[in-house]
Structure 1
Amino acid sequence: MSNYRELYSDEAEHALLGALMLDSDLFDSITTSVATADFHDPENAALFQLMLELHATGSPIDPVTLHDFKPVLPSGGPTIVYAGVLAKNTPSTANWKAYARTVRERAVLRRLVGAADAVRDLASENRPVAEIVASAQQAMADLRDLDTGEPDYKRMDEVIARNVDVIDAKFNGALQSGLSTGLLDLDKLIRGLRKKTVTIVAGLPGSGKTTLGLQIAQHIACSGAGVGMVFSLEMPEEELGNRALASIGGIDLRVLDDGQLQDDDWPRLTAAVQKIMDKPLYVSDKSGLTVPRIRSICRQIKRKHGLDVVVIDYIGLIGSDGKAFNRTSELGKISTGIVNIAKELDVPVILLAQLNRDSTKRPGKKPIASDLRDSGQIEADAHCIILVHRDMDDEQGQNGVTELIMPKCRHAPVGSCLVQQQGKFARFVNFAGREPSQEEVEISRPFADQYKGRKGK
């Protein structure tokens, strides 16, 4: 490439390294401005890294001390000769900021070219266009903070000043702490869905986690609180649509599936359609979506319609980029990627997950956070974890009583609440009964009288 030299500047790299040797007071300023990876010439990168390591020992930096610390550079040449020439030829330490800016900017350009080359390689491999676009957008996202010019730190009083404005807005009712889930006791428990957070909703198969996730997005969109995006990697969009109609209209899901509506079902269906018509709730049932593709779709929605909540059902079905060593490592990368989406797009993400069956083997059968399948990084990344627990071996579980257990939350104390699952309507409603007394817990027969004739399957 004839213009490749424009992507680096040996002169700037040499002058910056020389400034480090000539003025020890510049060390912190320069080393926070550039990194080893910003140097194009491997010899320059090696010398810069050597300076970092030598400084960490408390020694001064000059050609002699560098040579004593490591006499030979990767090229095989003596350290003292190369470092000495750079120090001698540095025109002025006063211009170090210009040198650092040049080194940093050329590094950004090289990474942009590298990203473009990677996209070109994907295109030459005849990959799907959607995958190529998603990879390109991800590459640009990875570069977005490389040269913002913004400091990596803020004074605490700046942070507090913004916080006080937010606190005042909440006090005056102009701002809510978070989005409502539509379930009163759950809202009290988690204190609202917060922006830039990831809430894990996990449960055993059939526990109702999909119902809960879809219902929350549905409530936010249909109540006028915001725009919802649901990724259903397992359930087709037709089934999602029927679940929404059943939930909003209070219509038996089985009736919608087989089309055998009774006379009183039709007005409920009409009312449900009217409630959801023109509401900003979007769905995608594409299977095997990767994190970059999910991020790309979310960005499209946010750009065109705005975006206030994302639901992903579920983490175990998110596609892999094939670079991880094992599934646990893959899920860790996926989890971290979802956290980054929440931060970048400034929205709460509800990420559904499966629980392993360890909980069914312990007394009480209540799940704990470590029951998350291949948990590790998922448990660590989550801002909030909600475990959906419905014990079908006891009477209250058979009647739809479901406990939402919150073993972790960064903005609220841990705890739990009860909700009533109405399975035939594919929804949860506020729990209308009472919590069991200690005596009832011990004999394992709470709620028995309250739930006769109220089964929700």
Structure 2
Amino acid sequence: MSRDLFNINAEHGLLGAIFVDPSLLDDIASKVNIADFYEIENAALYQAILDCQASGDPVDVVTVSIHHPSLPSGESMLAHAAEIHSKAQGTSSWRTYARVIRERAVCRKVVEAAQAITESASEDLPVADIIARGQMAMADLRDLEDGEPDYHRIKDILPEVVEAIDARYNGTASKGLSTGLPDLDEIIRGLRPGNMIVIAGLTGTGKTVLGLQIAQHVTTQLGGAGLAFSMEMTRQELATRGIASMGGVHLGRLDEGNIEDDDWPKITSAVGRLAEARLYVNDQAGLTLPRIRSIARQCQKREGLDVLLIDYITLIGSEGGQNRTLEVGKISTGLKNLAKELQVPVIVLAQLNRGSTNRTDKRPRPSDLRDSGQIEQDADVVILLNRDMETEQGQNGVTQLIVGKCRHGKPGECVVQAQGQFVRFVPFGGKPPSDELVEMGRVLKFSSRSKGRKDHETF
């Protein structure tokens, strides 16, 4: 490796300056990370220094060796620290040392990114995947640049906040995108830019239906642009479901071709509305997160983007051989970061484990999210679908939307009506459950059962 990619003298000079004047450590720690040191022995000494500070111990040659007696090489920490202290040149140049160390670290990251791209190019991968990995690697470098400060004076933030308060008071502020379901909007207060909204449920409860319906509402009713990644259904299936949902045409008749005379005007109307919508679909299977990010950025640049739908998180391909729980957690955090980067709401569909089926009330909780608890941690909003098929109302399509987490509001729930034949949800028009049933915790549990009605088919 070229010596231009590191400077051992600068590393020794910075560590020596800390021993001369430990009060500099707060300023230095805000600019230089442990990983910025090239020499592993110097990185270990810097770690020991930070551990001393965190423990409230004085930072000197002896205390760092008490915290970490040995270097990674097995040599004495005390000897290494004493040598650096003895060669210290004072503190006047510490900022220069810190800058040099940081710059060299960034250069190494650039080289690593280039090597990663080169290795990807040598693998048997599609060109699009190689480009996506390269874009992701280069995007990660932005965090290494010395740009905005890590903190902001509250005085500088106040004008923007007061303006937002005034806009809300005057009714001119955006409250987030509507889902198309008024009762749900009232709870979550709209889909907000930068938020990750998780829609989860057991198999067959309508996760895809709800997610796609929201994307259709944003693009057909609100005039926005949406991108849906469907790794389970084809784009033709999604379009067919869109016609059924928006036209109120029985999906079974569309699939089988048994079209009735009064269906054609509905089909024509739905096709016309969907054709005008800025709704884009990607149905490639096994997409990785870098590839999803690349496609989403392309769409935002070329078409605009107001909402992003991921169906669903577990089907996103992994790039390594990590434990799947860790991999899904990493993907979840990446999707949250993508929402912040694009400044659009990202709707992520997820599966629930069957823990709720063993409870008396059958109600799912955010902790029931399958594959990784990180999904619950990353989510700004968690919407859980609960449809109890052991009850008459459940068999007839009555579904609870339980908002188990909402960063900008209180958790709550509402009831909607699933119209399985039209693959859509509509506001619930029936009699709400009694207070007694709510208190019993079985909102959808009734003693009588229907034999099943064709106008409320399951999804």
Q: Distance in 2 between matches of 1:455 and 1:83?
A: 74
- For residue 276 of structure 1, report the CA deviation from its aligned partner: 1.7
- For residue 16 of structure 1, report the CA deviation from its aligned partner: 1.7
Equivalent residue runs for 1:107-186 within 5 Å: 107-186=105-184
Which residue of the other structure, out of 367, 371, 377, is the alignment partner of 2:368? Answer: 371
Pick closer, same or farther for the CA change 1:436–1:452 going to 2, 3 Å.
Answer: farther
Which residue in the other structure is 1:400 paired with? 397
Q: Distance in 2 between matches of 1:42 and 1:387?
A: 47
CA contact (8 A) 2:51 2:67 kept: no
Which residue in the other structure is 1:345 paired with? 342
Q: Select between 178-187 and 163-172 the one with higher mean Cα deviation.
A: 163-172
Pick closer, same or farther for the CA change 1:453–1:305 going to 2, 3 Å.
Answer: closer
CA contact (8 A) 1:202 1:355 kept: yes
Q: Aligned letter for 2:200? A: A
CA contact (8 A) 1:436 1:447 kept: no
Q: Distance in 2 between matches of 1:10 and 1:278?
A: 61
TM-score (ref. length: structure 1): 0.89
Report SS of the residue matched to 1:93: coil
Q: Select between 370-379 and 57-66 the one with higher mean Cα deviation.
A: 57-66
- For residue 184 of structure 1, report the CA deviation from its aligned partner: 0.7
CA contact (8 A) 1:198 1:348 kept: yes
CA contact (8 A) 1:405 1:416 kept: yes
Q: Does 2:14 match 1:9?
A: no
Q: Distance in 2 between matches of 1:134 and 1:419?
A: 40
CA contact (8 A) 1:71 1:80 kept: yes
Which residue of the other structure, out of 358, 366, 384, is the alignment partner of 1:387? Answer: 384
Q: Select between 355-364 and 102-111 the one with higher mean Cα deviation.
A: 355-364
RMSD of the alignment, in Å?
2.9
Q: Distance in 1 between matches of 2:130 and 2:185?
A: 40
Q: Distance in 2 between matches of 1:18 and 1:188?
A: 59
CA contact (8 A) 1:396 1:447 kept: no
Which residue in the other structure is 1:241 paired with? 239
CA contact (8 A) 1:440 1:446 kept: no
Pick closer, same or farther for the CA change 1:23–1:395 going to 2, 3 Å.
Answer: same
Pick closer, same or farther for the CA change 1:287–1:453 going to 2, 3 Å.
Answer: closer
Q: Does 2:340 match 1:319?
A: no
Q: Distance in 2 between matches of 1:68 and 1:312?
A: 50
Q: Aligned letter for 1:180? A: S
Q: What percent of counterpart residues are identical?
A: 53
Report SS of the residue matched to 2:309: strand
- For residue 67 of structure 1, report the CA deviation from its aligned partner: 6.3
Q: Aligned letter for 1:367? A: P
Which residue in the other structure is 2:431 paired with? 434
5+ residue gaps, structure 2, are none
Deviations 1:52-103 (A, max 9, x none): 2344454544556656776765567666665566456555522322221111
Deviations 1:280-332 (A, max 9, x none): 2111111111222222221111222222211111122121223322x333322
Q: Select between 392-401 and 431-440 the one with higher mean Cα deviation.
A: 431-440
Which residue in the other structure is 1:281 paired with? 279
Which residue in the other structure is 2:197 paired with? 199
Pick closer, same or farther for the CA change 1:359–1:82 going to 2, 3 Å.
Answer: closer
Q: Distance in 2 between matches of 1:410 and 1:387?
A: 15
CA contact (8 A) 1:179 1:225 kept: no
Q: Distance in 1 between matches of 2:42 and 2:354?
A: 55
Deviations 1:212-238 (A, max 9, x none): 000001111112342211111111110
TM-score (ref. length: structure 2): 0.89
Which residue in the other structure is 1:425 paired with? 422
- For residue 107 of structure 1, report the CA deviation from its aligned partner: 0.1
Report SS of the residue matched to 1:115: helix
- For residue 18 of structure 1, report the CA deviation from its aligned partner: 2.4
Which residue of the other structure, out of 326, 330, 335, is the alignment partner of 2:332? Answer: 335
CA contact (8 A) 2:391 2:448 kept: no
Q: Does 2:197 match 1:222?
A: no
Deviations 1:30-70 (A, max 9, x none): 12210121111223323322332344454544556656776
Pick closer, same or farther for the CA change 1:368–1:62 going to 2, 3 Å.
Answer: closer
Which residue in the other structure is 2:294 paired with? 296
Report SS of the residue matched to 1:404: strand
Q: Distance in 2 between matches of 1:303 and 1:61?
A: 51
- For residue 143 of structure 1, report the CA deviation from its aligned partner: 2.1
Which residue in the other structure is 2:270 paired with? 272
CA contact (8 A) 1:196 1:346 kept: yes
CA contact (8 A) 1:436 1:446 kept: no
Pick closer, same or farther for the CA change 1:67–1:287 going to 2, 3 Å.
Answer: closer
Pick closer, same or farther for the CA change 1:394–1:75 going to 2, 3 Å.
Answer: closer
Pick closer, same or farther for the CA change 1:70–1:396 going to 2, 3 Å.
Answer: closer
- For residue 181 of structure 1, report the CA deviation from its aligned partner: 0.2
CA contact (8 A) 2:18 2:25 kept: yes
Pick closer, same or farther for the CA change 1:256–1:372 going to 2, 3 Å.
Answer: same
Q: Aligned letter for 1:421? A: A
